[in-house]
Amino acid sequence: MIVGIDVGGTNTDIVSLEGSNFKHLASFKTAELCAERLMSFKDAKAIGVGIAAWIKNGKIIKAPNLSLKTCKEVLDFFRSKCVIENDANCFAIYASKILNVKNLFGVTIGTGIGSGIIVDGKLYIGSGIAGEIGHTFVETKRVCSCGETGHLEASFGGRYMDARGLLESGRIYKIRGFKLFCKSLAFAVMLLDPEIVALGGRIGGRLNAKIVKENVCKYTAREFDFEIVTIKDDLAVAKGAALLASSQIPP
């Protein structure tokens, strides 16, 4: 059995992968994460962990929406037998797999905003932390959870708005944060020229792809040809983490 774990800013989700079949094993609040919660998965053949953190050279260097205690618990428990990757990168891996595309930009919107880049079918991480669209500077004076001022996440991340109410009423497409999000996404599209932009997370996966594209296209050159799809699967990151762990197993 291969296990995939998504340690998000608010929720933790766990799935197993056997062959090509995923099974939902558990979901709970990340605040409840502890070694005892993970004990039953220690004998898995491989474990993939997607965590809401910046990871460079195998080390967590920043985790704006997680406590350092949570990060340490996860690393200490799984260090010897797992692969750990940024959660949005895991989402991008899963999205590219199910959509069968080799050039994809994946964006997760939940407690925070993250992104992952797939180029020629492979995860692109640059020097280690490529793809942090949530922490790009936009036109705002709001203070982000990372401590900096003016980041996109502080205008459109779930920590900073009543996402459920805005989604249910449709007002989410009228707020300034949505406009800033579409601008940032447009810049990313023109830099990367992906086939598909995949939106996921407990907020992103519930956005209307048509409305998002219409607004993104206001800021992109007409020559750019791309699609925007939403993946309404709250287990997508955990599944991507399981796929990543599976790919590390020697043949």
**Could you tell me if 167 and 124 lie in one domain?**
yes
Q: Quote the pLDDT of residue 102.
A: 96
**Cβ atoms 51, 87 nearer than 8 A:** yes
- One-letter amino acid of 95: A
Q: Quote the pLDDT of residue 80.
A: 65
Q: How far is CA 122 from CA 2, 101, 164, 217, in A?
A: 21, 10, 34, 26
**Residue 228 bridge partners (DSSP):** 197
- One-letter amino acid of 5: I
**Could you tell me if 137 and 117 lie in one domain?**
yes
Place of tokens 């640059």: 126
**Quick one: tokens of 142?**
């709001």
**Could you tell me if 201 and 129 lie in one domain?**
yes
**pLDDT per position as a tens digit, 13-23:** 999 999 999 99
* Dist. CA 246–CA 211, nearest whole Å: 36
**Could you tell me if 243 and 193 lie in one domain?**
no
* Dist. CA 154–CA 167, nearest whole Å: 18
Q: How far is CA 18 from CA 3, 95, 232, in A?
A: 9, 19, 22
**Could you tell me if 196 and 126 lie in one domain?**
yes
**Could you tell me if 177 and 193 lie in one domain?**
yes
Mean residue pLDDT across the chain: 92
What is the domain extent for residue 176? 90-230
Tally of structural domains, the chain: 2
Give, in degrees to the nearest 5, the angle at Cα 82 between 135 and 68. Answer: 45
**Could you tell me if 38 and 124 lie in one domain?**
no
Q: What is the CATH number of the domain that holds 224?
A: 3.30.420.40
- Encode the chain (251 residues) as per-residue pLDDT tens digits: 899 999 999 999 999 999 999 999 999 998 888 777 778 887 888 899 999 999 888 788 889 888 877 777 777 776 667 889 999 999 999 999 999 999 999 999 999 999 999 999 999 999 999 999 999 999 788 999 899 999 999 999 999 999 999 999 999 999 999 999 999 999 999 999 999 999 999 999 999 999 999 999 999 999 999 999 999 999 999 999 999 999 988 77
**Could you tell me if 96 and 220 lie in one domain?**
yes
- Chain centroid to Cα 153, Å, comes to 13
Q: Which residues contact 213 (CB under 8 A, 6 or more apart)?
A: 227, 228
**Could you tell me if 138 and 180 lie in one domain?**
yes
Q: Quote the pLDDT of residue 35.
A: 72
Q: Quote the pLDDT of residue 66.
A: 86
